[in-house]
């Protein structure tokens, strides 16, 4: 009898020990984020975002700018997260809140991020607790912009965003929609549910951010320039923004990315191998050098269809007579790659000014590519947002208007599904 009691006692101790160990292990697995809130009307969405994250057993530490407290109260955020809200650098006795909070964080998320705060991040300014915390971090930084459409499209804001992308910051959104000012356009912050999904994807790397793990992706982007003489040439209005966004998104998703870029003024995507070219012939040569080691080829560049047969090494002098130039076709890079014996999975792009669906599907079938993304030139070229229509063997898929990085992630997700399906067929 005594032995039985001792045995039961030992079992209880073992169960208590195992429960304690499970608790320790769960605590070790629990993720921590710093949710930074800046002064915008979209701050109300941060409350719902906090609730969704806490529901997923993520510890949320809120840090607010002074301006943010005019839109949502620290008491609300403390009630939702169960943690005191950081506002002042000197809240703790040692004045080291920016160091302590950033060191335990698995990620810092700024939602909403105003144009002003984005400018601070881009220039390394640290004049309040939240900006100092971001500068002192050693974890990923995710930024969800929210602002008026004119502020979003302002060249200074776009320049700052390009700098953040080059620095490895993940930009989430924005989208086009009705704004608090009554206007409609790009600049509306993503909804809390979508932001939560992106944050969970960061913590679930094997399912999302590493979706392209082990794949080598080759991308062409930007315009080409075909010389007429020493100072003149034939080119187009492509900015390269879509191709660069795809390169950045592919890198975020775990791919080894090579970007063959025509002349652009864009900042180079973070951790991406970039090869600069000028003409279509140079781009073709660069693609041929890399394509044998490529799993996925995405042809986004707006390659000139024709080049001058005999470009002049010197400037052609103006005269009163007509000037006739003989134009000859440039190589079709996408068609060449798609026709290779062991061709990579190919994604083409089509920019049309009319009859979008008819011309895009005709192009896809002519080039024999499994996936083609199409848009209207008048809506896409040079713009910071866009909408895409995807054509594949199954049918037509619409990606609603959003910023190009958001579209790039959606396109790559669809591409990976088709790539995997093709490999298993």
Between CA 129 and CA 98 the distance in angstroms is 6
Query: Do 24-203 and 216-305+325-424 fold alike per CATH?
Result: yes
Q: Could you tell me the mean pLDDT of each successive run of 10 residues in the chain, 425 residues long?
A: 51 45 42 92 92 88 93 93 86 56 82 94 91 88 90 91 89 80 80 83 58 93 95 90 91 92 85 93 97 97 94 91 93 96 95 84 93 78 77 90 84 93 77
pLDDT of residue 93: 52
pLDDT of residue 16: 46
Contact 267, 166 (CB under 8 A): yes
For residue 302, give the DSSP letter: B
Cis peptide before 315 (omega within 30 of 0): no
Q: 151: closest CA among 190, 110, 195, 113?
A: 113
pLDDT of residue 255: 93
SS3 257: strand
Handedness of CA 386, 165, 31, 135 (dihedral sign): negative
Catalytic residues: 181
pLDDT of residue 100: 64
Looking at the domain 24-203, which fold is it? Rossmann fold (3.40.50)
Instruction: Convert the pLDDT of each residue in 182-208 to its tens digit.
Output: 777 788 898 888 888 778 767 754 444
Contact 349, 297 (CB under 8 A): no
Could you name the CATH architecture of 216-305+325-424? 3-Layer(aba) Sandwich (3.40)
Distance of CA 22 to the CA centre of its chain: 36
pLDDT of residue 23: 38
Domain ranges in the chain? 24-203, 216-305+325-424
Helix axes 404-424, 241-252, angle to 10 degrees: 60
pLDDT of residue 286: 97
């Amino acid at each position: 009898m005594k032995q039985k009691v001792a045995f039961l006692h030992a079992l209880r101790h073992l169960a208590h020990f195992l429960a304690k160990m499970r608790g320790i292990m769960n605590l070790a697995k629990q993720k921590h984020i710093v949710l930074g809130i800046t002064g915008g009307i979209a701050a109300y969405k941060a409350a719902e975002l906090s609730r969704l994250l806490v529901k997923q057993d993520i510890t949320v530490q809120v840090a607010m700018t002074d301006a943010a407290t005019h839109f949502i109260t620290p008491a609300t955020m403390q009630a939702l997260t169960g943690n005191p809200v950081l506002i002042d650098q000197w809240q703790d006795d040692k004045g080291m809140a920016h160091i302590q909070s950033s060191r335990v964080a698995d990620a810092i998320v700024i939602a909403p991020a105003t144009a002003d705060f984005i400018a601070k991040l881009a220039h390394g300014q640290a004049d309040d607790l939240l900006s100092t915390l971001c500068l002192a971090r050693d974890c990923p930084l995710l930024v969800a912009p929210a602002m008026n459409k004119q502020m979003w499209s302002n060249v200074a804001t776009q320049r700052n965003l390009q700098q953040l992308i080059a620095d490895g910051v993940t930009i989430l959104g924005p989208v086009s929609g009705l704004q608090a000012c009554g206007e409609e356009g790009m600049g509306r912050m993503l909804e809390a549910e979508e932001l939560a999904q992106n944050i969970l994807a960061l913590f679930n790397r094997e399912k999302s951010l590493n979706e392209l793990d082990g794949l080598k992706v080759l991308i062409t982007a930007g315009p080409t320039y075909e010389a007429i003489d020493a100072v003149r040439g034939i080119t187009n209005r492509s900015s390269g923004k879509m191709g660069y966004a795809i390169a950045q998104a592919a890198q975020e998703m775990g791919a080894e990315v090579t970007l063959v870029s025509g002349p652009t003024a864009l900042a180079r995507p973070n951790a991406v191998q970039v090869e600069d070219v000028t003409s279509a012939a140079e781009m073709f040569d660069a693609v041929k050098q890399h394509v044998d080691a490529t799993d996925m080829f995405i042809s986004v560049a707006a390659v000139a269809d024709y080049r001058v047969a005999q470009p002049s090494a010197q400037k052609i002098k103006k005269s009163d007579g007509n000037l006739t130039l003989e134009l000859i076709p440039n190589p079709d890079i996408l068609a060449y790659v798609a026709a290779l014996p062991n061709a990579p999975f190919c994604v083409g792009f089509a920019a049309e000014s009319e009859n979008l669906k008819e011309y895009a599907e005709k192009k896809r079938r002519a080039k024999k590519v499994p996936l083609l993304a199409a848009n209207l030139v008048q809506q896409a070229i040079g713009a910071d947002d866009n909408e895409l229509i995807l054509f594949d063997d199954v049918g037509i898929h619409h990606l609603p208007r959003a910023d190009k990085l958001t579209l790039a992630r959606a396109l790559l997700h669809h591409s990976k599904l088709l790539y995997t399906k093709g490999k298993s067929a």
